[in-house]
Structure 1
Amino acid sequence: METLNERGLKRLGKDGPDTPPNDGTYEHVDNTTGEVVTVPNGLQPGWDYAPGQTATERAVAARLNRLDSVEATIARENVAQLVEAPLFNRFFNGEMRGEFPVAVVPAVERQVLGAESPVVLLSQQSLSAHRERHPEIGINDYRRVQQLLDDGEVYQMPNDPGRLIYLIIEGVTYRAALKRTEDGKKNYFLTLFKSRTDQPPPGAERLR
């Protein structure tokens, strides 16, 4: 790219700068801040400022809206990137409010739950309560939520069909719970802790 003054433009027979080609745009998400920007194709995005907390929270909320409307495989790839990004560190440390996507419900369980969205959300309120009750559970444990949903044993309580319980054993037994909201629009990750027993709750029916 070359910068020209008026004399230089006239020397080239031009009255003004060339019109940039319209090759379309794409959305880019900064996984550090959560900022969503529209960028022309062929250009790399850049930021001239660091968004504040409110801007970051709005950016995450905007991305959540997009995740609900895309195919599950694409949603899964996006969620995996977010969970591994520094942005999740900020959420885990309580620097962000609201909700954060931590996984995508496998197809079979999504059908059992009757959930509209494939995305599993973790609220800051639940996370704060989890960390207070189970300080031994760290951020890397929460980064295994997708693995837990994919590979864990899945149980359902007959009196609570909108709630699934997961167990996974890799030297350690984790116990986790996932619940669909009453209107079926969202799925929330409720709890995660290490259990001393690999037995499910009494009366639970195994789905997988």
Structure 2
Amino acid sequence: GDLLDRAPAAETDPSYTDEIPVEPPRTWVNSRTGEMTTVPAGIDPGWQTNPGRLRQRARVLAEHLDDALEAADPDLARVAVRDIVAGPIWQQHHASALQLAANRKAFVVQAEATGVPRSVIDHRLTSDLAWPEVPVAIGVAPPSIASIRPDLKSIVVARDWGIGHSIGRHSQDPSDWARIQEILDRGEVHIDPRDPNRISLFARFATGEWVLFLKALTDRWQVASLFGNTKPNYRANHLAKGKTIARQEIVGGGP
């Protein structure tokens, strides 16, 4: 007869149940670290949490740390930031940013090659592949920098976008970012009268010249880009584009 006329399974099979079976969680062991984690059955390790919430939590914690550094004595803040840049917090932040940058680039290349619509690509880049925007303290602006925008906090931060947006073109060594404090302290400062939200700093080191670009975002300066070994005329060309010198480079650290 017709399927719709058949009796429900519950009426013909005493063992039938429409309740969802409950599977016990399983224990997953990280083969590299030996760490044991309990995850729900059918869920791969790492996906038992909400990535969006994790990113939000990391961002809030970093902002609280930045605010604590802002309230501290400037000399103590410098020491604390130096320790952050030399420690695991910065190492992990830097590595995560580069990994995300590589994932974003690989996704775009594959998506474009297979004809994925641009709207779909953009949605993915602003959802699960979005930059977390975690602000990790990377330096303390000296008075000569702070005076350019007195309304901004003195703690300079590096977000993941500033680290990974130019992967393959800029330095990928996390230790290079330890130069930022010295660049802030003694680099030549260029400002654009048309855009008070951006400043550029140039500093010579024994290994060559380094350039630091800062961008004002909400209430603090953030690193927009950092790279070294520029062409000999890079600084002069940059100045010729309508920039003015707000502070001359303080001699030391390079040729």
Same-fold call, TM cutoff 0.5? yes
Q: Deviation digits for residues 30-59 of structure 1, max 9, x if unmatched?
A: xxxxxxxxxxxxxxxxxxxxxxx9476654
Q: Which runs of 5+ in 1 are unaligned?
A: 1-52
Q: Which moved more, 1:119-128 or 1:109-118?
A: 109-118
Tell me, yes or no, if the aligned pair for 1:113 and 1:163 is still in contact at 8 Å: no
The aligned residue for residue 205 of structure 1 is 244
Aligned length in residues: 153
Distance of 1:126 and 1:56 partners within structure 2: 17
Letter in 1 for 2:92: R
Aligned match for 2:139, one of 77, 81, 103: 103
Determine whether 1:147 maps to 2:182.
yes
Aligned match for 1:114, one of 150, 173, 182: 150
TM-score, normalising length: structure 2 = 0.54
Q: Give the deviation of 1:109 after TM superposition.
A: 1.2
The aligned residue for residue 225 of structure 2 is 191
The DSSP-based 3-state class of the residue aligned with 1:144 is: helix
Q: Percent identity?
A: 19
Determine whether 1:79 maps to 2:72.
no
Letter in 2 for 1:93: A
Aligned match for 2:62, one of 41, 60, 63: 60
Aligned match for 1:157, one of 192, 195, 207: 192
Tell me, yes or no, if the aligned pair for 2:86 and 2:175 is still in contact at 8 Å: no
Letter in 2 for 1:114: P
Q: Give the deviation of 1:137 after TM superposition.
A: 4.2
Q: 1:137 to 1:152 in 2, by over 3 A?
A: farther
Q: Which moved more, 1:57-66 or 1:112-121?
A: 57-66
Q: Give the deviation of 1:153 after TM superposition.
A: 1.2
Tell me, yes or no, if the aligned pair for 1:148 and 1:166 is still in contact at 8 Å: yes
Q: 1:83 to 1:157 in 2, by over 3 A?
A: same
Determine whether 1:177 maps to 2:213.
yes
Tell me, yes or no, if the aligned pair for 2:141 and 2:154 is still in contact at 8 Å: yes
Q: Deviation digits for residues 115-143 of structure 1, max 9, x if unmatched?
A: 33110011112211133432x44212111
